[in-house]
Chains A and B, each alone.
Chain A
Amino acid sequence: MNRILGRRAILNFIYLMSPPLLDVEGGGRGNAPLMSSSASGDCISQSGSGLKECNFLGLSDCSSVDSSAVSNVCGENKNNLNFKATELRLGLPGSRSPERDSDFSLLSSGKLDEKQLFPLLPSKDGICSLMQKSIVSGNKRGFSDTMDGFSEIKSSVFTEGKWMFNANGSDSGTPQSVVEAKLAGNAGINVILTNNSSGAQPSMKKEVPTRAPKEGQNKMNGSNNNSSAPAAKAQVVGWPPIRSFRKNTLATTSKNNEEVDGKPGPGALFIKVSMDGAPYLRKVDLRMYSTYQELSSALEKMFMCFTIRKCGSQETPDREMLGENKFKDLLHGSDYVLTFEDKDGDWMLVGDVPWGMFIESCKRLKIMKGSDAIGLAPRTMEKSKNQN
């Protein structure tokens, strides 16, 4: 099954490609530019002069063992030295696209040969169609939907980004099945992509649309109500790229300025979470969650790896799942409790006060051993009694 990619294949690959693109010199170069400016200037238009032999790593030794290691590693299509092969073809497994030999230049060609391969595809300006569909129809897609759509698209439509499905999240239909078929065929990168873009960040909420339909909607300013939507939009970690200092300042500023309807303001609320026995802290943005349950699940995921190491059996193949269950037991059982430090510096059990009040007063979180937290319970009752 695994084809060892020999030297001949490498050479074939080199001849097929416009060389300046691969003009990777072996060895370290210090400060010298990778390519002379003339070479790079020509990199698009040229095809086939001054071939330079090098292997895929750009190292001087060009052993087939290396190449095979890579091809094994990538775990997918075996002619992975061939950049054409990086453009994962559309189509169901078993179908083969015609060889596209010369043109590596994205600029010149807008046409793709794959078009005929995939009759379901509407047009070459694929990405535009998607946006067009969503915008023109007046139904703005949720950010997370868009993300999912794109990730699915990308996973199957590597080539030059022009292709895509009419993949609305809602109509699953054929595009979806094609994606799945593709996934079945190539276990590697496609799966990775789909999972990655849409699911990689544990703190990103997938289900909630960012933009509600315009009809019958007053302008949504900032956050929606607490119960159905998270406090902010489906937030991707670290996006938009704004520093914590600014985010936290924004949050406090708006809280001072507009105290309306108890709506949580914009901005993030990063607080530190520590766990007894865990070697390092985490930070969570409380505005990502709207219920204690959500926070608890997120924390479980975050600290799961610590409990695996603590009690983890390495032999079980499902050890991750085992770990997860065990953690849940740990958290919900008697072993660990979630506590927080409030503005007065007191440590309290999490869960006694309404969520809104909690995020206003929580300064930091701690996952304590149940035995350590026993003393907290009565005080918490007292304190909330006093507050009420």
Chain B
Amino acid sequence: MTYFPEEVVEHIFDFVGSHRDRNTVSTVCKAWYQVERLSRRTVFVGNCYAIGPERVMARFPGIKSLSVKGKPHFADFNLVPYDWGGFALPWIVAAARLCPGLEELRLKRMVVTDDGLELLARSFPNFKSLVLISCEGFSTDGLATIATYCRGLRELDLQENEVEDHGCQWLSFFPDSCTSLVSLNFGCLKGEVNGGALERLVARCPNLRSLKLSPAVSVESLNKILARASHLVDLGTGSFAVDHRTDVYHMLMNSFPKFKSLRNLSGFWDASPCCLRAVYPVCTSLTVLNLSYAPAIQGDDLIKIICLCFKLQKLWVLDSIGDKGLAVVASTCKELQELRVFPCDIYGAGTTSVTEEGLLAVSSGCPKLNSLLYFCYQMTNAALITIAKNCPHFTRFRLCILDPGKPDPVTDQPLDEGFGAIVRSCKNLRRLSLSGRLTDQVFLYIGMYAERLEMLSIAFAGDSDKGMIYVLNGCKNLRKLEIRDCPFGDIALLKNVAKYETMRSLWMSSCDITLGGCKALAAKMPRLNVEIINENEETYEFEENLSDLHKLEKIYVYRTVAGPRNDAPDFVWTL
């Protein structure tokens, strides 16, 4: 192959899409490495501390699209302290200097500042798409600079970020000449929205296909917007709170039938059951429906709308849907691929709104189901075994039994056999989250059968170090392992240290890991960063005096070529 001219090799590489394949191709020989690096257009960095930004940009000067992830996944659940790290600025600075052709930036769980956004806005003349997911540290002022300076911006997608509200004027910063927007999502903003500016913006962007509004956008405003945006494919409705006796409501009722292309619906923050009727006309063509932010919509109303959605592929709901509602999903939504059921009532014992029955029904009625996130109060082994038989195509299976360590209520047994059946049957399983009472046995099954597993989340499970060892010795494709509140200690940590270099990261909190164990790990594996996150102020001042037997609350271990990071806060020690 090296006898072909470079252009030919490069052309062939165009067909090599996936990151993994391109990475492999680049290791074949020096010539291929060169061709590959100069022709690479997309780079994905799963851990921003695994490599320095300059090194990435220097290797791939031609990239148009960059994705970077920062904090560990458990940061979503407040397990990672606020100022742990994950700063976006170094990446933006490096890209501004070395990759000015950048067109797309996608950041997840990172700290992004207004300064960073301004630098981004000013540095890339062809910039087209900014996607920020679960980020924080910026305000609407930063958004204003994006609006001002990114000529030709096509996509601004803000998902579940913490954005400081400095006023509603940022939307007016999109110049009149901005007509290129295809996707605009500001659903996570909490502050007021300038309705007029929004309506004018929508009106002058004929290519707008995806629009997700924040809860502050009133239905009056929504009506005006919908009148100008009948080609929308994806709509997040904003508040959707309106009295059904008003003209505004009637206008809304008349708006939806016009949407011939609408396929995705979400938002519905304050929606009441009668307002939901407005969307019935589009239900039959919907492929994605997200009602998980509408606690006022109860089971029967959910059923009424789901009955119409026979093309649905993705459904996110609250557990107020009940087993009864899930049975309706099972009989109606034959194309369903992804289901997420979130708990309505997070605090108390609550009513048993969804149980194993609901999931059983869906598993038997929806043969294409491959992705699941299910919060429930109980699960049985028998149900899991049947579900595994019904749905061998699961790629993502996340089950959260709300009561940690709860066994099968019928047999009082741990759920080892149930989850064992899932990993045995679902040969393509890439992501698994466990819950309920579990012994080391389930980890034996996972190690043996979960060959394609890439991400495993464990909480309140296992009996001994053996559990973790089974996983580390099995699961050859494991990339991310996150564990909390399990009896795994130093023996497990140190049993298979080479494994960690094949993985992106390991998180362990409230386990039995000691300082001595981490020191040993760091000593054996210099290309890992072994971070100890110690929020207990009494101890971190005396770090030198801590004994090796001191139990550690939180550790985060990840492979890196960049060495210990230089932006770690006081409470993070890298050994």
Q: Do A and B come from one complex?
A: no
